[in-house]
Amino acid sequence: MTALLRWPTAPPGMEMPVVEVRKHGVWLLANNVDQYIHRILVEEDAESHGSNGELFHASSEAGKKLYTRGDFAESKISNLDVYLFKKVGLFPDLLERKVLRHFEEGDQVSALVTGEFYTKKDLFPGFGRPFVFNAEILLKVGRTSEAKDSARVAGIAQWEDEQIEYIKEKVTEEGRQEDLKKGKAPAQVALDEAAFLLDLASIDGTWGDYLERVAECYKEAGLNEIANFILYRD
């Protein structure tokens, strides 16, 4: 399922990214809706083979503002990925494909440089996938220590039993009271609990089991709109 991701405490001006919902989380497709639509229109045009551009016409005025049919062919850029990078923006799957292509061509240095570039924090803020992928390619070339560092940043270091137990303790009433006694603001305690609950949900993919409590946490933190958004059912 394709959806928009609404961050609970997004920085001012940050647009909602387009994601694919999976069992154990979400997969980033584009940083914003315009970028996502722009890419779809370019790909349709590049692969049209004489079609009438159904998606382009369906996008109406919004699509026309983003892309002019025929621009890909007129650009004389033979590689679609290169065109997307230059004219549309950066996408996780394209960067990963670029890294793999470098490996196929025997250019290990360029592969590692691109993998490192992928992890720049301002490219895809809030997502761990770049670090997961970078860890995988570092392992591929035998750089185990650096791979572990990248995995830790992504939060994918293997869950130990004591780590899981720690998280479970933090979401108990005793855990909340302990944080409050340490002087942590009640709103922050509630936000932390919501984050811990989502961590637990990510381990076994049982998102539905935590929805109501996560929503309650956001209400306690004063984020009523986010709470209502989480609980909304069509």
C-alpha angle 149/21/193, rounded to 5°? 60
Average pLDDT on 152-162 reads: 61
Q: What is the distance, to the nearest Å, from the Cα of residue 209 to the centroid of all Cα atoms in its chain? A: 22
42 in a domain, yes or no?
no
Are the C-beta atoms of residues 108 and 102 closer than 8 Å to each other? yes
Amino acid, single-letter form, for residue 43:
E
C-alpha angle 217/12/60, rounded to 5°? 105
183 in a domain, yes or no?
yes
Same structural domain, 193 and 138: no
194 in a domain, yes or no?
yes
4 in a domain, yes or no?
no
- The CATH number covering residue 138 comes to 1.25.40
133 in a domain, yes or no?
yes
For residue 43 the two structure tokens come to 């790909």
Distance CA(147)–CA(8), nearest Å, equals 30
Same structural domain, 167 and 224: yes
CB atoms within 10 A of CB 84: 21
- The tens digit of pLDDT for each residue in 161-186 reads 677 788 888 889 999 999 999 999 99
- The tens digit of pLDDT for each residue in 81-134 reads 999 999 999 999 999 999 999 999 999 999 999 999 999 988 998 888 898 899
The domain boundary, picked from 129, 158, 187, lies at 158
